[in-house]
Chain A
Amino acid sequence: MILDQKGCRYDPHVLAVIAGQTLRVLNSDPTMHNVHAQPKGSGNSQWNMSQMPKGTPIETTFNTPEVMVPFKCNQHPWMKAYVNVAANPFFAVSDAGGNFEISGLPPGEYTLAAVHEALGEQTQKIVLGAKESRTADFTFAAQ
C-alpha cells in the first residue's frame, strides 16, 4: 500500500492495510515533509521521520490491528491522513460517493463497523449465508 504526499496533501486521506503488511510512504513534493505516525495501540510504536523532496520512500509495518492511526506532517499542520490496520482482509475504504464493497466473506454472523475521522463509529450486525450478498447502509449525522 502506498501513502503519497502530493501538493502538500496526503493521498489517499484514508487507507487500510493488514497488520504486518508493508506501507510505503512517498514524497512526490518538491519540498521536505516529516511523516509522524501516532498509533496508540500497545503493539504499535509512534515514529516521526523527515523525508527529503522526492526522497527515499519510508517503508513501515504495523504489528497490531488499530483503527484510524493518525498520520501528520508537523511542517504542514493541515496535512493529515488515517491508516487503518486490520486483522484480516475483510475491509474497505469508501469512495467519494460513500460506497464500499467487501467481498469473499465466508458465511456467518458479523459485526460490520463504519468509522469516520470526525463523526465516530457505527456498527451493524450482519448475518451472511453462502453465496449471499447484503447491503448495509450507515448514516452519520452532520455535526
Chain B
Amino acid sequence: MASPVRTHTKEGAQRVKSEVASAATNSHRALHRFAVVLSCSILVLIVAGALVTSEDAGLSVPDWPTSFGSIYKIPPMVGGIKFEHTHRMIAEGVGLLTILFCVATFRLDARRWLRNLSLATIGTVIAQGVLGGLTVLMFLPWYISSAHAALGQTFFALAVLMAMYTGRSWTQPTPEKVPDESVPSTRTLAILTIVALYLQLFFGAAFRHSGMSILPHLANAVLTSAMVAWTAIRVLSRYGHIGTLRRPAALMIGLLLVQLGFGFAAYLTRVVWGKNAVQPLPSMVSTTVAHVTIGALLLAAAFVLEEQVRRHFAKNTVDIAEHTSAPKAVSA
C-alpha cells in the first residue's frame, strides 16, 4: 500500500507544481499586459504633451496644480485649453495607472529589482508632474520645459522596459550567450547610442522651447544617426540569428529612417515655411508631434536593445539567472 501512496503523492506534487507554474505564468502575463497598457498610455500622454507645445498652448491654463482654481471641474475646452487640460487629465490617469502597476508588481512578481524599478516609475511620474507644474508657474523656462520633455520620454522607456522584463522573451528562455570581442563592444555601442539620443532629445527640446538655436540639434542628428546605424548594423550583422537582439535593432533602423523624414518635414514646415506664421499651422503641428513621438519610440527601442545586449553578453550564468528568475505564484 505504500507504493500507491507514494505514487499519489508524487502525482499530487506534480499537479501542485504545475498549478503553481500555471498561476505564475498567468499572473506574469497579466503584469506584462498591464505594462504594455501603461506604455501605450504614456505614449498617448507624450503625443498630448507634444500637442501642447506645438499648439503654443502651454500657459492657456495659468494655474497649477489646479485648473482655473479647481482640481476636478473640467473648464470650457476652447482654444489652447483643450490641449493643455487634456494633457493634464491624461497625466492624472497615467499617474494612477503607474501606482496601480507598482502595486501589481509587488503582488505578482518576486523580483526585488523589478519591484524597485516599479517604485522608480512612480518617482519618475511624480517628478514629471512637478516639472510640468513648475514650468507653468515659472512661465515656461526652456530648461524646465526641456527637462519635462526628456523625463517624459525616460518614463516611457522605463515602462517599455518593464513590459519587456515581464514578457516571455525575458523570463522564460535561457538567453543564448554570445561572445563579444569587438572594440568597441556592442554593449558600449548600445550605451553610447542612448547617450547620443539623449543629447539629441535635449537639443531638440531646447530648440522647441526657445532655449537655443536649431544648429546643435541638426549637427547632433548626424552623430545620433551614425550611432544608431552603427549599433543596429553591428547587432544585425553579427547576432541577427537571436530574435531578441534582431527585433529591437531592426526596429531602430526603421524608426531612424522615419524619424529623419519627420525631422526634415518638421524643419521645412516650422523653420523654413512657417517662420512668419501668426499661429501654429496643422502642417507644423503634425510633423513636429510625429517627430517627438517617433523620438520617444526610438529611445525606448535603444533601451530595449541595450538591455537585451546586456542579457545576452552577461559575463556568467549567475548574472543571467538573477535577471530571469520566474515571478512568484500568487494563487491560493
Residue ranges of A at the interface with B (Cβ–Cβ < 8 Å): 31-32, 34, 36, 38, 46, 48-50, 73-78, 80
Besides A32-B79, A34-B62, A75-B81, 10 more A-B contacts (Cβ < 8 Å) are A31-B76, A31-B78, A32-B78, A38-B139, A50-B61, A50-B68, A73-B79, A74-B59, A76-B279, A78-B279
Highest count of chain B CB atoms <10 Å: which of A38, A49, A75, A76: A75
Q: Which residue from B55, B56, B59, B278 sits with its C-beta under 8 Å from A34?
A: B59
Q: Give 1 or 0 for each of B106-142: 1 = CB within 8 Å of chain A CB.
A: 0000000000000000000000000000000001000
Closest chain A residue, CB of each to CB of B137:
A48
Residue B80 at the A interface, CB < 8 A?
yes
In the complex formed, the residue of B with least CB distance to A77 is: B56
Please state if A74 and B57 are interface contacts (CB–CB under 8 Å).
yes
Interface size class of B (residues with CB under 8 A): 20 to 34
Please state if A75 and B79 are interface contacts (CB–CB under 8 Å). Answer: yes
Chain A residues lying within 8 Å of B81, measured Cβ to Cβ, are 32, 75
* Cβ-defined contact, A75 with B139, below 8 A: no
Cα distance A75–B279 in the bound complex, in angstroms:
11
Residue contacts A-B, CB under 8 angstroms, 25 given: A31-B76, A31-B79, A32-B78, A32-B79, A32-B81, A34-B60, A36-B59, A38-B139, A46-B139, A48-B59, A50-B62, A73-B79, A74-B56, A74-B57, A74-B62, A75-B57, A75-B60, A75-B80, A75-B81, A76-B79, A76-B80, A77-B55, A77-B80, A78-B279, A80-B278
Is B263 at the interface (CB under 8 A from chain A)? no
Whether B279 contacts A48 by the Cβ 8 Å rule is: no
Q: Is B58 an interface residue (CB 8 A)?
A: yes
State A19–B139 Cα separation when bound (angstroms).
23
Would A74 and B80 count as touching, CB distance under 8 A? Answer: yes
Contacts of A38 in B (CB 8 A): 139
Q: Which residues on B sit within 8 Å (CB–CB) of A74? A: 56-60, 62, 80, 84
Partner of B279, one of A31, A50, A77: A77
Q: Give the complex CA separation of A49 and B139 in angstroms.
A: 12
Q: How many residue pairs bridge A and B at CB < 8 Å?
A: 50
Smallest CB–CB gap between A119 and chain B, Å? 12
Report A60 CB to chain B, min CB distance, Å. 14
A78 to B62 alpha-carbon distance, docked (Å): 18
A49 contact set on B, CB distance < 8 A: 62
B280 within 8 A of A: yes
Contacts of B56 in A (CB 8 A): 74, 77
B58 nearest in chain A by CB position: A74
Chain B's closest residue to A46 (CB) is: B139
Please determine whether B78 and A75 come into contact, CB atoms closer than 8 angstroms.
yes
Q: Name the B residues within 8 Å of A34 (CB-CB).
A: 59-60, 62
**Cα separation A77 to B277 with both chains bound (whole Å):** 11
Residues of A within 8 A of B57 (CB): 74-75, 77
Shortest Cβ distance from residue B277 to the other chain A in the assembled complex, whole angstroms: 9
Question: What is the bound-complex CA distance between A78 and B79, given in angstroms?
Answer: 11
How near does chain B come to A130, taking the closest CB pair, in angstroms?
46
Bound Cα distance from A46 to B136, whole angstroms? 12
- Using CB atoms, name the residue of chain A closest to B67: A50
CA distance A50 to B84 in the complex (A): 14
When chains A and B are docked, how far (Å) is the Cα of A34 from the Cα of B61?
A: 8
Choose among B78, B84, B139, B278 the residue that contacts A48 (Cβ–Cβ < 8 A): B139
Give bound CA distance, A76 to B279, whole Å. 8
Docked pose: A80 CA to B56 CA in angstroms: 13
Closest 3 CB pairs of A and B: A75-B79, A77-B56, A78-B279
Nearest CB of B to A117, in Å: 12
B76 touches A48 (CB 8 A): no
For B76, the chain A residues whose CB sits under 8 A away are 31-32
B78's nearest neighbour on chain A, judged by CB, is: A31
B 46-76 to A, binary, CB cutoff 8 A, 1 in contact else 0:
0000000001111111100000100000011
